[in-house]
Each structure stands twice: as C-alpha cells, then as structure tokens.
A = this chain, B = another copy of it.
Amino acid sequence: MMNKEQYIESLRKLKPIIYCNGERIESVVDHPMTRPHVNSAAMTYELACQPEYEDLMTVTSSLTGKKINRFTHIHQSTEDLVKKVKMLRMIGQKTGTCFQRCVGFDALNSTFIVTHKVDKECGTNYHQRFVEYMKYVQENDLMIAGSMTDVKGERSKKPGQQADPDLYVHIVERRDDGIVIRGAKAHQTGMVNSHEMLILPTTNLGPDDKDYAVACAVPVDAPGVIHIFGRQTNDQRRLQGDIDTGNAEYAIVGGETLTVLNDVFVPWERVFMCGEYQYAQEYVETFAAYHRQNYGGCKVGVADVIIGATAAMAEYNGVPNASHIKDKIIEMIHLAETMYNCSIACSAEGQKTLAGNYYVNTLLANTVKLNCTRFMYEISRLAHDVAGGFIATLPYEADYKSPVTGPYIEKYFAANPKVPTEHRIRMARLLENMTGGTALAESMHGAGSPQAMRVMLYRETNLEHKKSLAKKLAKIEE
C-alpha cells in the first residue's frame, strides 16, 4: 500500500496531457487548480495508514492474501459492502467533498462480475485476464478512474445512429497485439490524478453497436489521451488566498474532465470486453448500482460537515437555541441519516454473485441516489436559511486582509462577541462552497440522472406480485 506521500510521488512520474483555462497543466500535483483534488484522493491513501481506520480502510486481498487498500478490493461479504459505505462517510467527513476513488472501485467490482459471466456464456477468457489486472492494481495500490460516461451526442439516438460515430467510445481497429479505440468520456471524476482509467460501456447496445461494446484499462498518460479539465464554481478563488475558496485543502467535487481518446492503443491483456454487446446493459446497471450505493456514504459525510457548519453558524450568529433553527438542523440530520440508511440497507441486503464477489441489492441501491438528488438540495436550502444572507454578500478576502477596509469588515461582521469575525467569515465561505452550483449538480447527476433510477425502480419491482396481494384482499378472483 502507498501512503499519501508515495501516492503524490507516483503522480509525478506520470505525464498526462491536461488542459485547463487555455493552458497545459504540467504538474497536477503542484498546480493550484488541481492540487486540492489531489489532496482529496490522497486522503484515501493517508487514512489507510492510520491504525484507527485500519478496519475500514484496509482488508485482506481475496486474490493475494495480502493487506490492501479497500479501494482495490473485490467485495467478499455484505460486511465488506457495509464497510465500504462507512468508509465513504468517514472520508467525506474529512474532505467535505468527493475523494474520487470509488468510481474505479465500482468499475473493478462490476467488471469482475461481467467478465465472469461473458466468459461462461461466450467461452472468452476476459475474467482471468482481469484477475491478473486486479492483482497488479492491488500490488501497486493504483488509483483507477472508472470511465463510463460517454459524451452521448443526441440523447434520443443509439451509439450507432449518431451523426458522428465517435460520440461513443468505440473500437476503430482490431490488431494482433490489441485494439485501437476512439471517442471521449465526459465527467471523468478524479481522472487527472489517477494512474489508469478503466473504460466500460455507458448504455445498452444492440447488434449494430458491437464496436461500442468495449471495456479496457488505459494509463492516463497513454499516447492519444488528452484531458480537458472542467470548470467548477468559484474555481479561481483557489488562486488567491485560502478563505474565499471555502475548503482550501480539498476543493469541490471531483475535478471532472472531458477525456479524449484519440486512437488509443490497448494491448489485449488490458481488454476486458470486445464486441459482446449483449452484456452492455447488465454491465452498466451493475456498475450503476454499486455506484449509487455510495451516495448514502460519501454525501452523508459531506452532509455531516454541512450540518456541523450550519450549527456553528447559528452559534456564531448568536442564536443557537432558537427553536426554528434547531428544528431545521434536526431536519437536516433526518435527511442525512435517511440517505445513510438506504446505503446501509442495500449493502446489508447484498448477495454473492456467480463470480464470487458481493453485489448490492439493486432495487434498494437505486433509492439511495434518488433520495440524494432531492435531499442534498434540501439540506443546502436549509443551510442557507440558517446561515443568513451573509453567505451571499460577503466581501472579498483581499478586502478583509486590506488595512483600509479590513478593520471595517472586522468591526461590522462581528456577531457573537465570543467568536472572532474571521471564524464567522470562514464558516460562511465553507458553507457557500459546499451548497452551491457544482456541488449540487453533482448530487443530481453523479452515478446517473434521476430518471435512470426511476427506470430501474420500476424494472426491479415485482408489480405483479403487489397486484396479486391487493386482489386477494379485495377478494378479486380472475
């Protein structure tokens, strides 16, 4: 296992091509725009080395018998699934934001399941190949970016029907030594500070879409790979001071990229699906269920911080005991714990797969994320309510630090006399950071849009059984 420093050092050795705001980022570790994202992911390495988190953060590999970072683990029990949720919540409490590494974690476990099934039914040998890759990942404690979401083009059309064939990643050449792929993946969380990406399909495919049925692992600095770094809310505040950015250490969300795959070569030992289109849907749904499981973990950790910040703001404002404020904080707690319950339940109700690893309850996992698309907004709304208009009109950090205007701000933004004005400003900025645009939109669309969950809820429910229950009670015989 790597520690934080080793992880950072390992990133220095990679040479990914990253563009941001019209310029190339030479060192993802040193650049002020990407460093906070590196810090978030680094937390998954740092905590794994702390004895108090050993139980949650580390586990014995089912493949090698060695102690590994849980983020590279193939789940061996429902307890593993539950611990995943608790680990995510705990890290979310420490970063107050996305720490990115779960996407790859979920891609690994879903690939483990699907490769096993494809091999069994199609006589291929993807699974063993993938197991070898897993060992390599565990051995080197790699951070893997789970690369699912294609750019999708016109939403009402399938991959093969798009005006431009490249709007979904596809195989453009099959060679003796491997394949060549082209396309782009959007919303790539943690990509710039990962070691490799694990590419998988993003939608169900038909017989005409064979070339789109591709799964494979690619280093983030492989030839032909170009990363265009996404813009976040208030990103430029990172370039000046440490107050206004709110969460100076860990930024917001996952530092998403548009990652272009410009005829990238992948050797066969890194190819885990190649044309088996009929398994794409299951692949997508399996990955999605694992990934939706997470949101009652990490987002609840984030919500814990928002709740704490809101309670602190009430105190700083001098009204911690107003009954309506207490009531709002209770509501925030209730919403947060409800999301957590959903994640715990879909984990505790998980089951062993034919491949031998453990998989969450699909129906329940989809409720997790659907609740998240509502509750994180409501939690943020309540935080705004309690915090006060203050969070929308605060002066600039530079004005606070200026000898001309600073004293006025110091004087006039004092509230609870026991609390330094700076504390009040810092807390407001943290809340602003955590309840704004990018953070909310991620709660909405990460792991899929609400409609995707609704489709799954309908599909996974046995509505005929429910109807038969009702008919029996109503004494209706057909």
Q: Which residue of B lies closest to A256 (CB)?
A: B393
Q: Are B364 and A385 in contact (CB under 8 A)?
A: no
The count of identical subunits is 4
Looking at A153, A311, A401, the one whose CB has the most chain B CB atoms below 10 A away is A153
Q: Let me know if A466 is at the binding interface, CB within 8 A.
A: yes
Residues of B within 8 A of A63 (CB): none
Residues of B within 8 A of A149 (CB): 389
Which residues of A in the span 358-385 have a Cβ within 8 Å of any Cβ on B? 363-364, 367-368, 370-371, 373-374, 377-378, 380-381, 384-385
Residues of B within 8 A of A371 (CB): 334, 338
Bound complex: CA A323 to CA B323 (Å): 7
Looking at A94, A389, A398, A415, the one whose CB has the most chain B CB atoms below 10 A away is A389
Q: Let me know if A96 is at the binding interface, CB within 8 A.
A: yes
Q: Are B338 and A338 in contact (CB under 8 A)?
A: yes
Closest 8 CB pairs of A and B: A22-B398, A308-B466, A389-B445, A436-B437, A392-B441, A154-B318, A323-B323, A309-B470
Q: Are B409 and A304 in contact (CB under 8 A)?
A: no
Q: Are A470 and B308 in contact (CB under 8 A)?
A: yes
Instruction: Knowing A337-B364, A417-B163, A444-B381 are in contact, say whether A388-B449 is a contact too (CB < 8 A).
Output: yes
Looking at A19, A231, A394, the one whose CB has the most chain B CB atoms below 10 A away is A231
Residues of B within 8 A of A64 (CB): none
Which residues of A in the span 129-166 have a Cβ within 8 Å of any Cβ on B? 149, 151-157, 163-164, 166
Residues of B within 8 A of A172 (CB): none
Q: Are A426 and B476 in contact (CB under 8 A)?
A: yes
Instruction: Knowing A389-B187, A423-B476 are in contact, say whether A258-B384 is a contact too (CB < 8 A).
Output: no
Interface stretch (choices A51-59, A193-201, A325-333): A325-333
Bound complex: CA A432 to CA B231 (Å): 11
Q: Let me know if A228 is at the binding interface, CB within 8 A.
A: yes
Q: Let me know if A354 is at the binding interface, CB within 8 A.
A: no
- For the residues of A in contact with B, the DSSP-based class is helix
Q: Let me know if A405 is at the binding interface, CB within 8 A.
A: yes
- Interface readout for A315-353 with B: 1 if CB under 8 Å, 0 if not? 101110011101101100110011011101110110000
Q: Are A399 and B349 in contact (CB under 8 A)?
A: no
Residue in B22, B344, B402, B435 whose beta carbon sits within 8 Å of that of A402 in the complex: B22
- Interface readout for A388-432 with B: 1 if CB under 8 Å, 0 if not? 111111111011011011001101111111000001001101101
Q: Are B392 and A324 in contact (CB under 8 A)?
A: no
Bound complex: CA A345 to CA B184 (Å): 39
Interface stretch (choices A7-15, A106-114, A456-464): A456-464
Q: Are B437 and A233 in contact (CB under 8 A)?
A: yes
Q: Are B474 and A430 in contact (CB under 8 A)?
A: yes
Residues of B within 8 A of A446 (CB): 389
**In whole Å, how far is A409's beta carbon from the nearest beta carbon of chain B?**
7
Residues of B within 8 A of A370 (CB): 334
Q: Are B467 and A401 in contact (CB under 8 A)?
A: no
Q: Are B423 and A457 in contact (CB under 8 A)?
A: no
Q: Which residue of B lies closest to A438 (CB)?
A: B392
**In whole Å, how far is A31's beta carbon from the nearest beta carbon of chain B?**
14
Residue in B23, B186, B341 whose beta carbon sits within 8 Å of that of A364 in the complex: B341
Q: Let me know if A288 is at the binding interface, CB within 8 A.
A: no
Q: Let me know if A115 is at the binding interface, CB within 8 A.
A: no
Q: Are A21 and B471 in contact (CB under 8 A)?
A: no
Q: Which residue of B lies closest to A97 (CB)?
A: B473
Instruction: Knowing A399-B22, A411-B166 are in contact, say whether A466-B326 is a contact too (CB < 8 A).
Output: no
Q: Are A414 and B342 in contact (CB under 8 A)?
A: no
Q: Let me know if A285 is at the binding interface, CB within 8 A.
A: no
Looking at A363, A390, A467, the one whose CB has the most chain B CB atoms below 10 A away is A467
Q: Let me know if A175 is at the binding interface, CB within 8 A.
A: no
Q: Let me know if A222 is at the binding interface, CB within 8 A.
A: no
Bound complex: CA A408 to CA B229 (Å): 13
Residue in B317, B318, B324, B408 whose beta carbon sits within 8 Å of that of A258 in the complex: B408
Q: Let me know if A180 is at the binding interface, CB within 8 A.
A: no
Instruction: Knowing A318-B157, A323-B323 are in contact, say whether A473-B250 is a contact too (CB < 8 A).
Output: yes
